Amino acid sequence: MNENNGKRHWINLSEANIRDMLIALIGLEFGPEPEKHIPEIRDSRKNFANYIADEININSKDIVLDLGSGCGFGSYWFAQRAKHVHACDISPAYLSFAQRELSELENVSFHLIEPYQLDCLDTNSIDVVCSMSVFIHFNLYDIYWYFNEFVRVLKPGGRIWIDIADSESLDLKSPNTNGGYFLKHAQDYRADRTNLAGLMQWNSIASIINMAKHFGFKSKKFRSGGQLLFIKL
């Protein structure tokens, strides 16, 4: 992300403005006033988090890193299955919200991080990395540096689940699919080219798989839409 503008998109969020926080997290999926739909947003994240937990087989022995944990909606459901969850985010506002959201859970810890830095986590301490709707905003350089940290913090056999904006399945003739996101963000980009962090960064699945191999990860499977699962060899 651009140092001067990219990180600011999330870091400068105000905890007092829950509407902006939620829109920055999920877009306008729940309309222009998402703060009125928090129960529905929780349910949506519950379904997504449990789907991911099934895909990557999170179990009661696992230490999980939820990278880009946002409001903690996903972390809550990972914590129902895992031994412990490390909720990491670059946004103080999101972490503060998440700490209130998950205040009753004793197996979640919260970490304010800098981009590409997971110094809060020990080497070979993590079983699973999950990053929900985060890598869709990263370019290849961002992804490179995060994998550089993943190879350090993950135990041998550790698993990674990420989703990317898949350029190979981009269909501009179908605005109701990923083509709609592209066309909308193309307009946003033309209006303000400095707002790259809030836009989807379109990547090739093959490129991500090759990068993961460079760091010693094996691609276990991927699904249409850019969902990728890796294993540390």
Collapsing DSSP states into helix, strand and coil, what is residue 159?
strand
Tokens in use for 158? 């550790």
Tokens in use for 15? 């905890």
Provide the pairing of β-strand 63-67 with 108-112: unpaired
pLDDT score at 5: 42
pLDDT score at 197: 64
Q: Where are the alpha helices (DSSP H) in 82-229?
A: 92-101, 140-153, 178-191, 205-214
Q: For residue range 51-88, what is the model confidence (pLDDT) as tens digits? A: 999 999 999 999 999 999 999 999 999 999 999 999 99
Burial of 35 (0-12, 13-18, 19+ CB in 10 A): middle
Q: For residue range 20-44, what is the model confidence (pLDDT) as tens digits? A: 999 888 888 899 999 999 999 999 9
Provide the pairing of β-strand 227-232 with 154-163: antiparallel
- Residue 105's H or E segment, with its range, is none
Residue with tokens 């790259």: 196
Contact 219, 212 (CB under 8 A): yes
Q: For residue range 121-178, what is the model confidence (pLDDT) as tens digits? A: 999 999 999 999 999 999 999 999 999 999 999 999 999 999 999 998 888 988 777 8
Is it the case that residue 48 has pLDDT exceeding 60?
Answer: yes
Contact 194, 5 (CB under 8 A): yes
Residue from 155, 153, 161, 170 nearest 204 by CA: 170
Per the model's pLDDT, the better-predicted residue between 181 and 68 turns out to be: 68
- For 113, phi and psi rounded to 5 degrees? -120, 160
Is the whole-model pTM more than 0.85? yes
What confidence category does residue 8 fall into, taking pLDDT thresholds of 50, 70 and 90? Answer: low
Collapsing DSSP states into helix, strand and coil, what is residue 226?
coil
* CA distances in angstroms from 119 to 8, 100, 123, 145, listed in the order given: 21, 24, 9, 13
CATH 3.40.50.11810 fits 8-232, yes or no: no
Rounded Cα distance between 217 and 160, Å, is 9
| Percent residues over pLDDT 70 in the chain | 94
